[in-house]
């Protein structure tokens, strides 16, 4: 296409020209620190979640590093209007994540407040979640959880304020007897997923597992 000729796709890290459907070049791909977690086993996300709520299983695709490539990838998705980065991340996840005998019943992603959704134009987790749904043949529902409070991005808050923020989430429809895989982008304090998990757990005979694109270890 003419646009590809004049505005070629470039690696987000080194700016080398790459195929239109790629995010990084092959050399920079080797610099991504994947976690290599085994979903049912113990890992740092599960250890942190257990301190906050009863969790079944956890998985993180990458290690989130302030000066690393994983941060650039997440920021491309969240703040650079590159919604399809979620599809790439889902593809990488499907190559590494094996649910084994613990396959969840439903995929639920962390919602944005309607005002934030209008500002950004999309929820950065939706394409990721929907692509995983296709890979694993697990249904998703973007309407189960709603965010009731509008606030600035978690990344811009200090740790003390994140911990003190009241639960801004609620369930918008009944859900019971489900093993729900809760999906978020970056796991830091765990405050966001914990808030949603308790809403789900208190709603009925549900179980909660967690999947994140990256963990801030």
What pLDDT, in 10s, does the model give residues 88-140? 999 999 999 999 999 999 999 999 998 988 988 889 999 999 999 999 999 99
Whole-Å CA distances, 141 to 42, 53, 169: 27, 22, 15
Is-contact 58 215, C-beta < 8 A?
no
pTM of the model: 0.89
Strand 58-63, strand 207-215: pairing: parallel
Cα 111 to Cα 126: distance, rounded to the nearest angstrom: 9
Cα 13 from chain centroid (whole Å): 21
* pLDDT at residue 202 tops 90: yes
- Residues 21 and 85: their CA atoms lie apart, in Å, by 9
| Rounded alpha-carbon distances, angstroms, from residue 21 to 10, 25, 82, 189 | 10, 11, 12, 33
**Which single residue is written with the structure tokens 């639920």?**
108
Place of tokens 């093993």: 179
Average pLDDT in the 67-88 region?
92
Structure-token pair, residue 98: 């094996």
Tokens of 106: 């439903």
Q: Are 39 and 98 in contact (CB under 8 A)?
A: yes
Domains identified in the chain and CATH numbers: 1-31 (no CATH), 32-215 (3.40.50)
pLDDT band at 195 (very low <50, low <70, confident <90, very high): very high
What is the chain's mean pLDDT, rounded?
A: 90
Contact of 203 with 197, CB cutoff 8 Å:
no
Q: Is 170 left (phi over 0), alpha (psi -120 to 50) or beta?
A: beta
The tokens for 134 are 């296709």
| Res 7: pLDDT | 76
> Which residue carries 């019971």 as its tokens?
176
| 106-109/179-187 β-pairing | parallel
Q: Is the pLDDT of residue 161 over 80?
A: no
């Amino acid at each position: 296409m003419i646009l590809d000729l004049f505005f070629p796709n470039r690696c987000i890290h080194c700016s080398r020209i790459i195929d239109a459907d790629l995010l990084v070049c092959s050399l920079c791909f080797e610099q991504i620190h994947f976690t290599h977690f085994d979903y049912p086993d113990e890992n740092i996300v599960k250890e942190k979640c257990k301190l906050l709520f009863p969790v079944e299983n956890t998985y993180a695709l990458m290690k989130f590093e302030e000066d690393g490539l994983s941060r650039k990838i997440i920021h491309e998705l969240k703040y650079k209007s590159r919604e399809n980065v979620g599809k790439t991340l889902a593809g990488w996840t499907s190559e590494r994540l094996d649910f084994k005998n613990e396959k969840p019943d439903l995929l639920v992603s962390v919602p944005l407040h309607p005002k934030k959704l209008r500002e950004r134009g999309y929820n950065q987790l939706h394409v990721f979640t929907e692509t995983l749904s296709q890979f694993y043949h697990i249904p998703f529902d973007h309407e189960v959880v709603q965010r009731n409070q509008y606030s600035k991005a978690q990344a811009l808050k200090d740790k003390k304020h994140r911990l003190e923020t009241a639960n801004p989430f609620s369930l918008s429809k009944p859900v019971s007897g489900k093993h729900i895989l809760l999906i978020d982008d970056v796991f830091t304090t765990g405050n966001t997923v914990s808030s949603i998990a308790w809403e789900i757990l208190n709603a009925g005979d549900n179980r909660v597992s967690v999947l994140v694109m990256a963990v801030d270890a």
